[in-house]
Amino acid sequence: MIATPGTVSAISFGRQMIPATSYRLARLGVAAIFLLLCSLAPTHAQTSASGFDPALVEDIVVGSRILADFGVVDGFGHVSARHPTHPNRFLMSRSLAPALVTADDIMEFDLDGNAVDARGRSVFLERFIHSEIYKARPDVMAVVHTHSLGVIPFTVSQVPLRPMYHNAAFLAAGAPVWDIRKGFGATDMLVRDPLRGKSLAETLGDKSVVLMRGHGDVTVGPSVPLAVFRAYYTDIDAKLQSQAIALGGGDINYLTPEEGAKADTVNLAVLDRVWNLWKLRVAPTLAK
């Protein structure tokens, strides 16, 4: 059939005449399906090739933004997660302020702290905090390092950090202090090589938190949300304990180890409640 544009009312397929409008809609439908399949295929291939779990990457990004929003980290600090399919690797942002981290910034590292595919991106000097803890603790799936202002006084004094209330119940198991000077003399205070990272991991032992003298702290957990939860409430608990000490009314009635263990079990069960709230809190920043 020959016709000028705009005058076609029907299109011939052999002996069958199909209304032009239906034909155009059919073509649009096929095109839409084709475009949809094309858009899905690369995403699926990219995920399979890299092994990165998009949900896990989102947790690292969101966790970084949450801690920045609460002031637990500023331009420094980092969140990492063990690789979901390669346990001898981990995922962490390139060297960047936590509040600015996006999914595109997440990199892969081996447990010696080497970037698997750096592509010219700068990396954190203290990535060995993460690599050596993952080496020492197969149970750990996420690590957070902060320079918590609330915690610092407990890293340089003889007062141990202890659980003030149920949200910080994990502290009932202990929060040892790692002093870089004892093993390495006068330094720049940074965990900039595997030997320092290993020493820090040894002080952490089987605990959830290790304090760093004159530096900050590290929290760990079986997931990014829990490691972030512990980083936040370590900071909050330290501030509350300082307030209680300042009141001066004699001995402080801390949680006992038994109370801490029981309360922490409940915290684990309801973690999603606070995590989803925190995600909502930082959602507007993720669009920037």
Positions marked catalytic: 126
User: 42-71 burial, b if ≥16 CB within 10 A, otherwise e?
Assistant: eeeeeeeebebeeebbebbbbbbbbbbebe
Count of alpha carbons within 13 angstroms of residue 21, beta-carbon side: 0
Comparing CA positions, the residue from 96, 93, 125, 91 lying closest to residue 111 is 91
Alpha-carbon span 203 to 211, nearest angstrom = 9
Name 190's Cβ contacts closer than 8 Å, sequence gap at least 6: 125, 126, 196
Compute CA 272 distance to the chain's CA centroid, rounded to the nearest angstrom: 15
- Strand 209-212 with 177-178, pairing: parallel
Name 160's Cβ contacts closer than 8 Å, sequence gap at least 6: 154, 175
The tokens of 248 are what? 């001066």
Tokens 């900071």 belong to 235
As separate numbers, helices (DSSP H) first and strands (DSSP E) second, the chain gives 9, 9
